[in-house]
Amino acid sequence: MSILNYGIGNTGSISNMLRKLRVSAEVISTPAAVVAARRLVLPGIGAFDACVEALQNSGLREPVLEFAAAGRPLLGICVGMQMLTRGSEEGCLPGLGLIPAYTHRFTEQDGLRIPHMGWDHVRWLVPDHPLGRHLLQDSRFYFVHSFRVTCELPTNCLAVCSYGGEFAAAIGSGNITGVQFHPEKSHRFGLQLLSNFATT
Bridge partners, 168 (sequence order): 149, 160
The share of the chain scoring above pLDDT 70, in percent, equals 100
Q: Could you give the count of Cα atoms lying within 13 Å of 145 in the half-sphere of its Cβ?
A: 33
| 8 Å CB contact between 51 and 79 | yes
pLDDT at 44 over 80: yes
Q: Which of 4, 3, 33, 5 is CA-nearest to residue 15?
A: 3
pLDDT at 121 over 80: yes
d(CA 32, CA 192): 29
pLDDT at 183 over 90: yes
Residue of 145, 151, 161, 184 with catalytic role:
184
State the pLDDT confidence band at 10, using cuts at 50, 70 and 90: confident
Predicted confidence at residue 90, as pLDDT, reads 94
- pLDDT, mean of residues 49-68: 97
| Structural domains of the chain sorted by starting position, each given as residue range(s) with its CATH number in brackets | 2-198 (3.40.50.880)
Residue of 151, 157, 161, 182 with catalytic role:
182
Predicted confidence at residue 128, as pLDDT, reads 85
Predicted confidence at residue 25, as pLDDT, reads 93
Predicted confidence at residue 6, as pLDDT, reads 96
184 assigned to active site: yes
Per-residue CA distances from 104 to 1, 95, 101, 151 (Å): 30, 13, 10, 11
Tell how many helices (H) and how many strands (E) occur in the chain: 6, 11
78 assigned to active site: yes
Q: Residue 76 contacts by C-beta under 8 Å, 6 or more apart in sequence?
A: 42, 43, 44, 82, 83, 84, 176, 177, 178, 179
State the pLDDT confidence band at 163, using cuts at 50, 70 and 90: very high
pLDDT at 76 over 90: yes
The neighbour count for residue 165, using CB atoms within 10 Å, is 11
Q: What is the pLDDT of residues 136-159, one digit of tens each?
A: 777 999 999 999 999 999 999 999
182 assigned to active site: yes
Residue of 51, 78, 157, 161 with catalytic role:
78
pLDDT at 82 over 80: yes
